[in-house]
Structure formats: structure tokens, C-alpha cells
Amino acid sequence: MPENRIMEENSRNTIAGELMCPSCAGPLRFNPTKNNLVCEYCQTEVEIPDSNVKIEEIDYEKHIADTFHNEETRDVAVIDCHTCGAETSLPPNVTSGLCPFCGSSLVMQDATTRQLMKPRGVLPFKIEQKQAQPIFKKWLGSLWFAPNDLQNFARQEGKLIGVYIPYWTYDSNTRSSYAGLRGDNYIEYVRQTVTDDQGRTRTETVPVTRTRWFPVSGQVALSFDDILVVASTSLPDEYVYAIEPFDLDQMVGFNEKYLSGFRAESYQKNVKEGLVDAKVRMDIFIRDAIRRDIGGDQQQISSVSTNHYNITFKHILLPIWISAYRYNNKVYRFLINGRTGKVSGERPYSVIKIVLAVIAVLIIIGIFFYFSEAYKM
């Protein structure tokens, strides 16, 4: 067996031993409200020591040139969901479970081992399941025309699954050259023919807003810090980014103990692919800065050329409560920020409820016209 594989095996055995209660030998699980390990049987608390992993930025260009194909990795047992393709881990001593991303059944015998880049930091869960459950129910209760089965689904225990989702964070300095048009509004008074309520016409002088356009060009420079890119393809980006922000200043050095009792997904986008997405997110801010630089009342951007330099990155894990609900052969996902409780997700519509609502409105309108006509008589 290779030396690094032996070291990894010894590391896993050490972690397993450290997740055993010193009082009763029961399993220790991370408790978000106590921010410690807690025994499931006797409730003994065990403090999680500071990690020796430093949360530091990695030089992107140097990493790609020197260590991209020889980076520090860890062996992770993951289960590939045959339905949606997500790769997640199951907690220790659990032999089966549901995929948090689509609700399909997972079996531990389907697990494989992957070598993944070791995370630099982890943001531990702050909201535990019994706190997330009412948040979930309240959000679902605000959805008009949702199927009744959805409320029943939300009341079932275990439908919310805590998952550490892989992210890349990127820092970058940028300098962007642009060309476009600046629009300055002015008022011009013109004669127009208008018609009053009696059908009579007359000519009036009215103000009309016009725009003078001028060609412009220039440069803007920005610095970006911790632009988040989800490294998973298992969740729709718009719903993942909708539960931001995360309090990244509370992140700690990566420690396996924070994952105890939770799932962890492996990344499907590598650091190169993540940078492409990061640049797209940065471009939104760059274009806003260009519009401010152009000034005027209106702006048109015809071209932008951006140079990124001093790029650094980190691989981190962020906490999200996930639930997957199947309705009419489609999967709907609900996400809760494991730190703030912010909710986002897809929602199904009940066709029956919508039809009944339309019928009720038509009946009310019919009754209104009936009594209106009766009153006239």
C-alpha cells in the first residue's frame, strides 16, 4: 500500500476514534447550537480543538503551474446518486439514506472512493434541524396554490438534510477598458393635439424628454475579495446564490469533526472551471462600475475588455439544509442557509387549487353582476 494511502487510512482511524464518546463510547455528533461534539446517548460535550489547517489564499497561477495535478488531497467515500448524479457522503455507521438533492434512495454498497482537494476552511452549521424545520414550514406556508401534500411532506422528520456544500472563493484585481455611449436627457417642448373627456380636441405645448448621446471610453479598476462560486452542479445556481450571504469571517480551519452527523458533497467543478464562473459574477460589478464611470442619465456599454491579475483562491465547505420534494414526476428543491436561515427554492403549483380559485372568482363576479342588474331594476 502506498505511503500516502497508509497515512490517509491512519487519519481516518484517528478521526473515528475521536468521534467516540469518552464517557459511554457512543457516537459524537457536531451540535450547531453548542458548537461542540455531543454524544447521542449521554449528551456528553467534547470541545473541538482548533485546526492546524490555515485558512489562507492560494496563488492561482502558481497552483495551476506547479501543484494542480499534484495537490494535497484526501480520500473521501462518496455515493453517486444514479438519478441526479450528485456525489455525497453518508454519516458513519449509516448504510442507506436519501439523496438530499433529488430524494432518491442511496445505498452504502454503491460507495466509491475519490481523491479530492482538501478544504482550507469550513463554516460550521449554526442552525440545527429542529430550528430549520419551522423555518421550512413557514416558508412553505407562504406559497399560494402549493399542493396539500407539500405541507404533509414538510411535517415529516428527516426531510431536511444538512449538507456541507463545496465552494471556491476567489480574490482578484481587475482593470477593464470599455467603450460605449453616454446619454444626457433634456426637455423639449412640442405642440401636440390632445382630446378631452368630452371628445373635444385642442392643441397644447407639452414637455418631451429627449436624449443626446455621446461616445465615451475609459478604464475602471476593481478589487474583489471572496467571490463565492458553488463547486456543485447538483443544485440550481440561482437558488444557491439566493441564500447568500454567508458570514465567512466566522469560518474555521477545516476539521473533519464539524462534518460529524452531516453529509458533505464532493465538488464537481475544479478550480479552473470555478474561475470561469467567478469572472461572470465579477463582470456584473464591473459593468455597474463602468456605468457609474460613464455618468449621465443613461448609459450604453458596447465593449468591455477585462484583465484579471493577482488571482488567489480557497476551497471551503458551507452549510446548507436541503430538502427535495417530488411532484408530478419533477423534483423541487428547497434550501436553507445553515447560518442565517434564509430560504430559497423551487415551488410546485397545484392545478386543482388554481382551477378552484378561478371558478370562485368567476362565481363572485357573477354574483356581483347579478345583484347589480337586480338593483337597477
| Interatomic CA distance for residues 34 and 47, integer angstroms | 9
Q: What is the pLDDT of residue 288?
A: 97
User: Are residues 96 and 153 located together in one domain of the fold?
Assistant: yes
| Interatomic CA distance for residues 110 and 2, integer angstroms | 24
Nearest to 226, CA basis, from 305, 125, 316, 320: 316
SS3 assignment for 184-208: EEEEEEEEEEEECCCCCEEEEEEEE
| Total of domains in the chain | 3
User: Are residues 171 and 107 located together in one domain of the fold?
Assistant: yes
Element (H, E) at 282: helix 271-294
Residue 95: strand, helix, or coil: coil
Residue 212 falls inside a structural domain:
no
Domain boundary residue, one of 34, 49, 64? 49
Q: What is the pLDDT of residue 353?
A: 56
Residues in Cβ contact with 372 at an 8 Å cutoff, skipping those fewer than 6 apart: none
1, three cell numbers:
500500500
Using alpha carbons only, give the angle 93, 97, 103 rounded to the nearest 5 degrees.
160
Q: What is the pLDDT of residue 219?
A: 97
User: Are residues 320 and 227 located together in one domain of the fold?
Assistant: yes
User: Are residues 124 and 269 located together in one domain of the fold?
Assistant: yes
Q: Which domain holds residue 4?
A: 1-49
User: Are residues 26 and 67 located together in one domain of the fold?
Assistant: no
Residue 192 falls inside a structural domain:
no
Q: 10 Å Cβ neighbour count for 337?
A: 24
User: Are residues 17 and 118 located together in one domain of the fold?
Assistant: no
Element (H, E) at 11: helix 3-18
| Interatomic CA distance for residues 220 and 233, integer angstroms | 32
Residue 193 falls inside a structural domain:
no
| Interatomic CA distance for residues 89 and 112, integer angstroms | 10
137-171: pLDDT as tens digits: 777 666 565 555 655 555 555 578 899 999 999 99
Crossing angle for the helix pair 148-155 and 129-141, nearest 10 degrees? Answer: 170
Q: What is the pLDDT of residue 38?
A: 92
pTM given for the model: 0.78
Nearest to 79, CA basis, from 92, 96, 103, 58: 96
174-231: pLDDT as tens digits: 999 999 999 999 999 988 888 877 778 888 888 889 999 999 999 999 999 999 999 9
Nearest to 342, CA basis, from 318, 367, 320: 320
User: Are residues 248 and 333 located together in one domain of the fold?
Assistant: yes
Residue 15 falls inside a structural domain:
yes
Q: Is 259 exposed, middle or buried (CB count within 10 Å of its CB: 0-12, 13-18, 19+)?
A: buried
User: Are residues 161 and 74 located together in one domain of the fold?
Assistant: yes
User: Are residues 338 and 359 located together in one domain of the fold?
Assistant: no
Residue 275 falls inside a structural domain:
yes
Residue 208 falls inside a structural domain:
no
Residue 14 falls inside a structural domain:
yes
User: Are residues 140 and 244 located together in one domain of the fold?
Assistant: yes
User: Are residues 168 and 19 located together in one domain of the fold?
Assistant: no
Residue 334 falls inside a structural domain:
yes
User: Are residues 27 and 64 located together in one domain of the fold?
Assistant: no
